[in-house]
Amino acid sequence: MITLGKALNHGLRRALEDDPKVVIMGEDVGKLGGVFRITDGLQKDFGENRVIDTPLAEAGIVGTAVGLAIRGFRPVCEIQFDGFVFPAYNQIVAQVAKMHYRSKGKLRLPITIRIPYGGGIGAVEHHSESPEAYFAHTPGLKVVTCSNPVDAYTMIQQAIASDDPVIFFEPKRRYWEKGEVDLDAPLSGAFPLHSARVVRPGGDATLLAYGPMVRVALDAASAAAEDGRELEVIDVRSLSPIDYPVIFESVRRTGRAVVVHEAPGNVGLGAEIAARITEECFYSLEAPVLRVTGYDIPYPAARIEEEYLPDLDRVLDAVDRSFGW
């Protein structure tokens, strides 16, 4: 059994072993092993040219990664916390996302940008945000997030191996969750990076969640089962592109859908997913697609963050509303 954080560490190690062009760069990723220890021990084993402690400048991390990628490297950037990505936002949105298009396909930027995200750890401001929609909205970026150790191990390797720029969101409050991970499993033939996965089958309603909210959705499904409702839980995993066929198939069967995410609901991923379900599954729906999300407020102070974060009760409340329609 290893934690999600350790699974990422193993995945990064394997990526460094598999491709000499992979370099890890970020604040405190070397000697310290990152503030969450995700890169623990990697600089010691791969050297300061492969695991680079950078100056404290996020635009610099991503901007120099662009240059390294033009040179043929495969950079893996760590942004220390979700709320610190914005100094790099210009480089990500204006350069990383667009260079392949700008060059008519002649240039590839196989950059992975890891961002620990989400709340629930009692942190100060800027350490608990869920900025995934900003990136999912940007053509040219792919956006994924893992919810468990097995996916963490596989998806980080797939993201790094991909020639696309990938924003890789890590559910920081699940870093310590444990699972069985086969560290020898070959990457080829693994579950595809951009596929959604049914993580609990059920025929009565569909819960759609990703990252830290998958655990909440699974717990809600367990609780609902005690009341005789079988909820299907889908781990969306890929936020851009979204694997809609899996979602549509489920919703056509269940007729009900609830989308759960920590980010504010306004113009969030849930809004897009709800719109697409409505367009594609209209005659299968027994109720409108409902959303359980963060409120449209700046991320709150730690001692009241539990009021902000979607939890089991709020998810079940939404399920009740769906059935009561």
Partner 1 sequence: MDQHGAADGFVQLLNPEGDHVDSVTGPDGVTYAVDFTDDEYRGLYQDMVTVRRLDAEGVALQRQGELGLWASLLGQEAAQVGSGRALQPQDMAFPTYREHGVLYCRGIDPIMPFGLFRGVDQGGWDPNEFKFNQYTIVIGSQTLHATGYAMGVTMEGRTGSDDGEAVIAYFGDGASSQGEVNEAFVWSGVFNAPVVFFCQNNQYAISAAAERQTRVPLFRRAGGYGFPGIRVDGNDVLASYAVTRAALDHARHGQGPKLIEAYTYRMGAHTSSDDPTRYRMAGEVEAWKAKDPISRLKAFLVKQRIAGDDFFAQVEDDARKAALDLRERVLAMPDRQPVELFDHVYPTGSPELDAQRRWFTGYHASFDSTDG
Extract the runs of DSSP E, i.e. beta strands, from the chain. 2-3, 22-26, 51-53, 74-78, 112-117, 142-145, 166-171, 178-179, 197-200, 205-209, 231-235, 238-240, 257-264, 290-294
Q: How many helices (H) and strands (E) does the chain have?
A: 12, 14
DSSP run (H or E) holding 90: helix 89-90
| Shortest CB 264 distance to partner 1, Å | 23
Active site residue 137: no
User: In whole angstroms, how close is the CB of 124 to partner 1 at the nearest point?
Assistant: 24
CB of 185 to partner 1, least distance (A): 21
| Residue 94 to residue 260: CA distance in whole angstroms | 29
- Burial string for 77-88 (b: 16+ CB within 10 Å, else e) reads bbbbbbbbbbeb
d(CA 142, CA 140): 7
Angle, helices 149-161/4-18, rounded to nearest 10 degrees: 30
The residue among 114 and 142 lying less far from partner 1, judged by its C-beta, is: 142
- How far apart CA 15 and CA 79 sit, in angstroms, is 18
Query: Shortest Cβ distance from residue 73 to partner 1 (Å)?
Result: 6
C-beta neighbour count of 16 within 10 angstroms: 21
Q: Which residues pair with 178 in a beta bridge?
A: 3
76, 146, 151, 67: which is closest to 111 by C-alpha? Answer: 76
Strand partners, 292: 260
Nearest CB to partner 1, comparing residues 89 and 323: 89
Residues of the shown chain interacting with partner 1 in the complex, contacts defined by CB under 8 A:
23, 49, 54-55, 57, 59-60, 63-73, 75, 87, 90-91, 94-95, 98-108, 110, 139-140, 142, 162-164, 194, 241-244
Q: Cβ closer to partner 1: 87 or 300?
A: 87
CA-based max dimension of the chain: 59
Identify whether the C-beta of residue 41 lies closer than 8 Å to the C-beta of residue 33.
yes
Active-site residue, from 127, 137, 194, 261:
127
Q: How far is the CB of 196 from partner 1 (least distance, A)?
A: 12
Q: Which of 92, 205 has the CB closer to partner 1?
A: 92
| Complex with partner 1: residue 58 or 232, whichever CB lies closer | 58
Closer to partner 1 at the Cβ: 110 or 212?
110
Tell me which residues are annotated as active site: 127
